[in-house]
Copies of this chain bind each other. A is one copy, B any other.
């Protein structure tokens, strides 16, 4: 290890448009949000131990380093620019170690441990040795809510490990520009610049392999957003980064109504099978919504530096709101809304705001667009109402936040 301590974070994501239709080969737009997962990787005080502190799950997992080193027999040595496909033998050794640790069967803990052990044994190897480390994970993201919390975890974990070994170079420490996004922790006037593109590609790939362990066949959306931030268009397995994400914030509302993505997707499929031509056209309409949305994004982007009247901006944001309404109505038509989501849309409309469910639907999360210039008091009142009266979790967060970023990095010789 070349760093004795490194702090990295990566953002979660929302689906702005295209949930469900994406299953039928149509476009979807995913956008990063300000809610992030932070990983602190440092040397363990006990040189024979490895600990994973899952703060939000209130779990501390500790292993003997020697036990983890036993997995290395099944881990291929790779070059600094490659990733490892975990072999069955490797996964089975990892699982054996986890099972022998007698973890309580808490959803997420086992998955987090598997990803951790996979990434640690693959990326922190120095010949036949692994370092004694302590990794602390904290997230602002609700877990299992379709907001990409697991990708944010895998990405920040992979980035921290690759940085600590200097498999990827530490970005420059630069003076903040006035436009720099600030997070609670970045109170300095300096910050780490973006990780260079080639390194990001490697981080993304490692996390994608890790995501496979958790999700079987991930789409690649979540790890891409957690890596690069911003917005992306996903269609037929192909990911295109959108360059012109405009200034936009949302209310992210977690109704906490439990729902199953699998059941929701199956319900839409039933409808599609009953009336294929009807539903394929409706999916096509969702595809149209995505492309209209992208067009408006780049129009706002192109206007930005021009001397245009405010009313023109307002008009474009209104069009974004119209698309949100149409998409919500279509999702309702797909049978994936929920009475609570319907009344949420209705309620926010009384505040002149536009809301749609995001993700699988049937409960879960919704987003309310907050265009620039929206009355702050009105937003605060709405947030308060949602939290107090409805017991929903609500965050106001920008869209298109930075991808994975380094917050701290302390070289070994300075520790």
Chain A positions near chain B (C-beta within 8 angstroms): 274-275, 277-282, 284-285, 287-289, 291-292, 319, 322-323, 326, 329-330, 332-333
Which one of A279, A280, A333 has the highest number of Cβ atoms from chain B below 10 Å of its Cβ? Answer: A333
Instruction: Give the distance in Å from the alpha carbon of A38 to the alpha carbon of B259 in the complex.
Output: 57
Contacts of A333 in B (CB 8 A): 326, 329-330, 333
Which chain B residues lie closer than 8 Å to A292 at the CB level?
A: 275, 277-278
Contact residues in B for A322 (Cβ distance below 8 Å): 274-275
Copies of this subunit = 2
Bound form: Cα–Cα A280–B285 in Å: 8
CA distance A377 to B274 in the complex (A): 31
5 A–B contacts from the bound complex (CB under 8 Å)? A274-B322, A275-B289, A275-B323, A277-B288, A278-B288
Q: How far is the CB of A314 from chain B (nearest CB, A)?
A: 15
**B288→A285 contact, CB < 8 A:** no
- In the assembled complex, which residues on chain B have CB atoms less than 8 Å from the CB atom of A287? 277, 281
**What chain B residues lie within 8 Å of A274 (beta carbons)?**
319, 322
CB-CB under 8 A from A277, the residues of chain B are: 287-288, 291-292
Determine the distance from Cα of A292 to Cα of B329 in the docked complex, in whole angstroms: 22
B332 touches A329 (CB 8 A): yes
- Rounded to whole Å, the gap between the CB of A181 and the closest CB of chain B is 31
Bound-complex Cα distance A84 to B330 (A)? 49
Say how far A92's CB is from chain B's closest CB, in angstroms. 48
Cβ of A289 to closest chain B Cβ, rounded Å:
5
What B residues does A275 contact at CB under 8 A?
Answer: 288-289, 292, 322-323, 326
A281-B281, A282-B282 given; name 14 further pairs at CB < 8 Å. Answer: A274-B322, A275-B322, A275-B323, A275-B326, A277-B287, A277-B288, A277-B291, A278-B323, A281-B285, A285-B285, A326-B333, A329-B332, A329-B333, A330-B333
The 8 closest A-B pairs by CB, nearest first: A277-B288, A281-B285, A278-B288, A281-B284, A329-B333, A282-B285, A275-B292, A278-B285
Say how far A270's CB is from chain B's closest CB, in angstroms.
11
Q: How far is the CA of A274 from the CA of B289 in the complex (A)?
A: 11
Bound-state Cα–Cα, A329 to B330, Å:
8
Give chain B residues whose Cβ lies under 8 Å from the Cβ of A323.
275, 278
Say which residue of B282, B319, B332 sits within 8 Å of A281 (CB atoms): B282
Most B C-beta atoms less than 10 A away, residue of A275, A282, A326: A275
Q: In whole angstroms, how far apart are the Cα atoms of A287 and B281 in the complex?
A: 9
CA distance A326 to B323 in the complex (A): 19
Nearest B residue (CB) for A292: B275
**A326 cross-chain contacts in B, Cβ below 8 A:** 275, 278, 333
Contact residues in B for A288 (Cβ distance below 8 Å): 275, 277-278, 280-281
In angstroms, Cα B333 to Cα A322, docked, is 11
Q: How far is the CB of A349 from chain B (nearest CB, A)?
A: 13
Complex Cα spacing A326 to B319, Å: 24
- Find chain B residues with CB under 8 A from A280 CB: 288
Residue ID in chain B nearest A284 by CB atoms: B281
CA distance A319 to B291 in the complex (A): 32
Report the bound CA distance from A322 to B284 in whole Å.
Answer: 20
Q: In the complex, A280→B277 CA distance in Å? A: 14
